[in-house]
Amino acid sequence: MSSALQIVWVYPDLLSTYGDRGNMLILAHRAKLRGIPAETVEVRSDQALPYGDIYLIGGGEDGPQALAAQRLAADRGLHRAVDRRAVVFAVCAGYQLLGNSFFAKGAKCDGLGLLDLHSDRGPTRAVGELAGDIDPALGLPMLTGFENHGGRTHLGPEVKPLAKVRAGIGNDGATEGAWSGTVIGTYSHGPALSRNPALADLLLRWATGEEALAAADDTWHTRLRSERLGAAGLV
Amino acid sequence: MTENKLPLRASLAASVSRTAAALSRATGRGDGSVIGGRLGMMIDPDLLAHLAAGRRIALVSGTNGKTTTTRFTAAAVGVLGDVATNSFGANMPTGHTSALARAGATPYAVLEVDEHYLAQVLKATTPLVVALLNLSRDQLDRAKEVAMMAQLWRDALADHPDVHVVANADDPMVVYAAAAHAAAGDGRVTWFSAGQRWREDAHVCPACGAHIERDEADADSWRCATGDLVRPAPQWTVDESAVIDPEGVRHEVKLQLPGKVNVGNAATALAVAHRFGVSPADAAPKLAEVASVAGRYAQVDRDGRNIRLLLAKNPASWLEAFDMAEEQPTLLSINARDPDGFDTSWLFDVDFAPLRGRQVLITGDRAYDLAVRLQVNDVPFTHVKSFDEAVAAVPPGRLEVIANYTAFQDIRAELDRVV
Ligand SMILES: [Zn+2]
């Protein structure tokens, strides 16, 4: 086992539609800024899930999503990771498959049961700016992102919403995403962390056990955030 | 079919289409191909089929390179005579209708086709040849999934057993689209290879879902792990500056357009023209005459700077643009308006590392998305608020401009619509 922080991108061969690589790159970049040694690992769906400190799961179409859920269920590596409180950050299709069930290609599919939630199809496709006030327990500024999904997600009592929706749809127009322990899922798709550097730092803090990280120069992230929150009518 | 043999209704429709297009041009509302085609098709819904009848037509489709390849192919087929073509990039049926109506009686046509419309245009035009270039992610917030496009193409070809296909052997998605057509009869498909830089959309076999395996030693070779889809042996290939034909004859192409990708586009054009009976030796010099394509690759001199415009719309085309651009000051401009798609996530699918060491300037509606991407990529940059500011910020000499669709159009407008 390496002493460097292991950032594992789960199944980019199946779940990588649009800039999902960004979350891995941003975490590695922000770790490096703080002098934290980090390694990134891309795991194909025909490989066993390795040990990791942070697992990233991206978005994808129905077919690959269902296949990824089957392979992760058989592999059990992600379950073991959650048991030892490794960090999991999942977006879109990756978020849905962490739940108890989801819909793909018109059929109900078993999820991994790592978050107490289930997903089905909504009446409309949610495409556009997404923003919301993040659960105060996480101590983060407003979430901003871009969503593109046809799902609706219903949260059970074991998880908390990641945010209360201020713009866009998220889970159901009221809440967006979910979290429990060190597992977070969101409909903010693709490189969600590019607009939410404080969320990236939270994942790094959880993974390293550090209470606080050295300040980073977030000039461009901050400008991007205010521009996009402005576009969503929230500034 | 020549105009005087068109059915009366089609003849009227074609005339209205041309008049509307001319009016649209005269009033400065663009080149008129869309409005002209739309009006004509309202009068005669089968106008495209009527205008196509009796002509020898090539269709060119794919995610990237279709405008340039269409231009090259029209130049190559032009050895035979006038060629009708939609050179303004209006690549949906209205644009095809307008192009054919405008062209009059010439028996040759080369049409760029939006990949979503290939089935419809195949049906309407019964072409001699279809060139299938590549399929990769492009505006996924509304476009179809890549494997689904490959399936649509495959289904479309199944309805047209007589069409000859010129297809890219390096792209597993294209090979899947053309494989059944190739298997159904000898010599129905001509394969070309031009090397493919972008591979992120072809990790998984579109036929069976197994992994596509690549050989480290031979970068272009690939095969599905189950063996049901394997790279076909290409008949037309390229090297740095030449196209090699099926007989192994090397044709030097002295292109004005930069990049290896354009040597590949030239190979496709020569392979298509060959089906029209044009020899590559006759066609190759015609390709060297193409200096820019709808403003792309155009060079403009301003204030001692030689500005070159490169269009890059999606991750695959950004990689090609980095290959084309010289190691000179480079301006990147990103918008996310309707024609671009509203989602900028794809910026993280592009590795901007090739720009390290150059003076990089950024601008456009979504410059901040790009700023974050470049920072994470360790590429230093300066943000400028306008094109003029960019020109002033670089020393005399070459300024490379790489922009996505509407950003490119904005800069073209600034440079007085260079052609
Ligand atoms: Zn296969």
User: Least CA distance to A222: which residue of chain B?
Assistant: B368
Mean per-residue pLDDT, A3-27: 94
Q: Which of A220, A222, A235 should be substituted to probe chain B, the one whose Cβ sees the most B Cβ atoms within 10 Å?
A: A220
- Under the banding of pLDDT at 50, 70 and 90, the label for residue B30 is low
User: Least CA distance to B378: which residue of chain A?
Assistant: A29
Give how far B81 is from chain A: nearest CA, Å: 44
* Segment A21-57, tens digit of pLDDT: 999 999 999 999 999 999 999 999 999 999 999 999 9
Which of A19, A67, A221 lies nearest to residue B346, judging by beta carbons?
A19
Which of A22, A46, A127 lies nearest to residue B141, judging by beta carbons?
A127
- How is residue A194 annotated by DSSP? G
Query: What pLDDT, on a 0 to 100 scale, did the predictor assign at position B1?
Result: 45
In the reported structure, the alpha carbon of residue B136 is separated from the centroid of ligand 1 by a whole-number distance in angstroms of: 18
User: Taking CB atoms and an 8 Å limit, are A189 and B145 in contact across chains?
Assistant: no
* Segment A107-155, tens digit of pLDDT: 999 999 999 999 999 999 999 999 999 999 999 999 999 999 999 999 9
Is the pTM of the predicted complex or chain greater than 0.80? yes
Query: What pLDDT, on a 0 to 100 scale, did the predictor assign at position B419?
Result: 46
In the reported structure, the alpha carbon of residue B43 is separated from the centroid of ligand 1 by a whole-number distance in angstroms of: 46
ipTM of this complex prediction, to 2 decimal places: 0.96
User: Least CA distance to B148: which residue of chain A?
Assistant: A61
In the reported structure, the alpha carbon of residue B174 is separated from the centroid of ligand 1 by a whole-number distance in angstroms of: 14
Q: For the ranges A93-107, B195-209, B272-286, which has the lowest average pLDDT?
A: B195-209
- The percent of residues above 90 in pLDDT, for chain B, comes to 68
Mean per-residue pLDDT, A162-181: 98
* Segment B161-220, tens digit of pLDDT: 999 999 999 999 999 999 999 999 889 999 999 888 888 888 888 898 888 998 877 778
- How is residue A19 annotated by DSSP? S
